[in-house]
C-alpha cells in the first residue's frame, strides 16, 4: 500500500501542513518520518516504507503525547 504519490509537489505538502506543527524523526541527517499536529491533534504521520516496523511512528506519537498532554 502506498500512502504518498510519487509526483507529490512541494506546494501540496506545504498546504497539508500549513496550519500544523511538524516534528521530524531523523538519523544521520536522513529524515525517516514526520508527524503533523494541528491544535493538539495528529493530522499526518508518515514513515518511510524502508523504515517501517522500527518503532519510528511510535516514537513520534510518544513525543507528541508529551508535548500535547491535553489532546493526544
The pLDDT of residue 2 is 46
The domain that holds 31 is classified in CATH as 3.40.630.30
- 29 within some domain: yes
- C-alpha cell of 36? 503533523
Q: What are phi and psi of 54, to 5 degrees?
A: -110, 0
Number of domains in the chain: 1
Which residue segment(s) compose the domain that 27 sits in?
10-67
pTM score > 0.85 for this model?
A: no
- 72 within some domain: no
Q: What are phi and psi of 47, to 5 degrees?
A: -135, 135
The pLDDT of residue 8 is 55
Task: Please give the chain's pLDDT, 72 residues, in tens.
Answer: 444 555 556 576 667 667 788 898 989 988 898 898 988 888 889 899 999 999 999 999 999 999 887 766
- 27 within some domain: yes
The pLDDT of residue 18 is 72
- 26 within some domain: yes
Q: To which residue does cell 504519490 refer?
A: 5
Distance CA 55, CA 25 (A): 11
- 57 within some domain: yes
The pLDDT of residue 53 is 95
Amino acid at each position: 500500500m502506498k500512502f504518498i504519490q510519487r509526483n507529490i509537489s512541494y506546494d501540496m505538502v506545504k498546504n497539508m501542513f500549513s496550519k500544523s506543527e511538524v516534528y521530524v524523526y531523523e538519523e544521520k541527517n536522513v529524515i525517516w518520518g514526520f508527524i503533523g499536529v494541528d491544535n493538539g491533534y495528529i493530522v499526518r504521520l508518515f514513515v518511510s516504507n524502508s523504515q517501517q516496523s522500527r518503532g519510528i511512528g511510535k516514537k513520534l506519537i510518544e513525543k507528541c503525547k508529551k508535548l500535547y498532554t491535553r489532546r493526544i
